[in-house]
Amino acid sequence: MTQRILSLSVACGLALLAGASAAQGFKASNDNARAGMRAPATAAAPAASAVPAGPRSADFIVAVVNSEPVTNVEVQQQVERLRAQAEASNMPAEALRRQALEMLIGQKIQLQMAAERNLQVDNFAVQQAEESVARQNSMTMTELRARLVREGIPETQFRADLKKQLVIQKLREAEVDSKVRVSDLDIDQYLREQKAKAGMANSVTQLNLGHILVTVPENASEAQVKELQAKAQQAADKIRAGEDFGAAVAEFSDVPDGKGGAMGMRPADRYPELFVKATQSTAVGSIAGPVRSPAGFHILKVLEKSNGEVPAIVTQSHARHILLRPSAQLSEAQAVERLEDYRRRVLAQQDTFDDLAKRYSEDGSAKEGGDLGWASPRKFVPEFEEALNALRPGEISQPIASRFGIHLIQLLERREATLNQREQRDMVRSIVRENKLEQAFSTWAQEARARAYVEYRDPPL
């Protein structure tokens, strides 16, 4: 998989997890918070359900989508999920019900189209999606499962809902992504628009922050607080003295697996106010903190900062990978098993990553030992970039799934880099492509809806 193929687009494996997770109060992958990363509400509704399946006395068919029914219970479940979202809390009941029904219709149409194309998602990808939801909500898998139990959501249903969203995402990639092109004129127009916005008093600053959290228990004693504050200060001092931020994350952060990592480029108003104030006068590449919140002590690194313009300084990663593509001859499980064996051999110094990549990788980078060169943010697809951001220099990931196959990733180095004009335009190209993909998918979903047979039915008397 070359860097060209890995270029970030809206069609990522986790792009629709925002619906499946946010409906239950969970945050989705940080990449999804970027502009244009959320699917239209009418296109792919979340399917998580706290209501067990089965016949109900109040259940009846409210619509037929091609040959598939939409039931009253399904609509009620969707209504409850929408009510959990702040933007729908004040919507009139009838409008909310209509929106829920249209979401379900759109989802069923797309799942039917995916089935016709025999598009499938393997269990490994679903497992990774579940782990990503937990990680982005600062939970372990055990904590996530406990949360699901408290919310009355069967884990099997939650995983099934994630799988539906991933299947729809595959359909989106097949039907929309390959048809979107970004021209130099598109880039020029975007830059003009951003320059105009930057001149406005109310322009929104975009931030990408690295985060370390040293948690403070709710009933901690004064002595405990002081001890934890000292731990946070030690982390900050080490980073200021030159230690790699990723290494400090692994050593000090209480985020699951010690991997706080990059939180993703997003408008400042989507970060806690405490974070924004703490980093307001912090230069790119520098850190702020420790700062205290009810959760504990935070150390923040400004990875990117932009006021409507492309950042001039970014954190770049130099990585290499081995790619195996599941096929009729190589199952997903076998690919994962092989990559786990490659990882073990490298760690045991029985083989080198470079040699293994040259011998076994099914990517165009194989002849360079899997070397992907220096990459700025947004260069890779989100599932790949998320795994890369969690690594320290020299570390090798566990096998991870993307739309291209199963990867083993090694982070070689990180650096702060000043982008030249060409590199800035490359970043803009990725941003513009995300926006165009969002528009293209919305149009495609509306057209698919128009072609489908949909029959509305009145409730029984």
Could you tell me the pLDDT band of residue 337, with boundaries at 50, 70 and 90? very high
**What per-residue confidence (pLDDT) applies to 198?**
60
> In angstroms, rounded to a whole number, what is the distance separating the alpha carbons of residues 35 and 270?
12
| Secondary structure class of 194 (helix, strand, coil) | helix
Question: For strand 313-324 and strand 371-375, is the pairing parallel, antiparallel, or unpaired?
Answer: antiparallel
Distances in whole angstroms, Cα of residue 132 to Cα of each of 14, 45, 73, 242: 9, 19, 29, 30
Write the single-letter amino acid at 48: A
Mean pLDDT of the region 91-99 = 84
Of 123, 188, 153, 88, whose CA–CA distance to 335 is shortest? Answer: 123
Distances in whole angstroms, Cα of residue 337 to Cα of each of 332, 333, 350, 355: 9, 6, 17, 18
> In angstroms, rounded to a whole number, what is the distance separating the alpha carbons of residues 444 and 268?
31
> In angstroms, rounded to a whole number, what is the distance separating the alpha carbons of residues 441 and 270?
24
Task: With beta carbons less than 8 A apart as the criterion, state whether 85 and 24 touch.
Answer: no
- 41-71: pLDDT as tens digits: 333 333 334 444 444 447 899 999 998 999 9
**What per-residue confidence (pLDDT) applies to 51?**
43
Joined tokens for residue 455: 């029959």
- Report the 3 state secondary structure along 107-153: HHHHHHHHHHCCCCCCHHHHHHHHHHHHHHCCCCHHHHHHHHHHHCC
Question: For strand 266-267 and strand 405-418, is the pairing parallel, antiparallel, or unpaired?
Answer: unpaired
Q: What is the mean pLDDT of the chain?
A: 79
Mean pLDDT of the region 290-314 = 79
**What per-residue confidence (pLDDT) applies to 369?**
95
343: pLDDT strictly greater than 90: yes
35: pLDDT strictly greater than 80: no
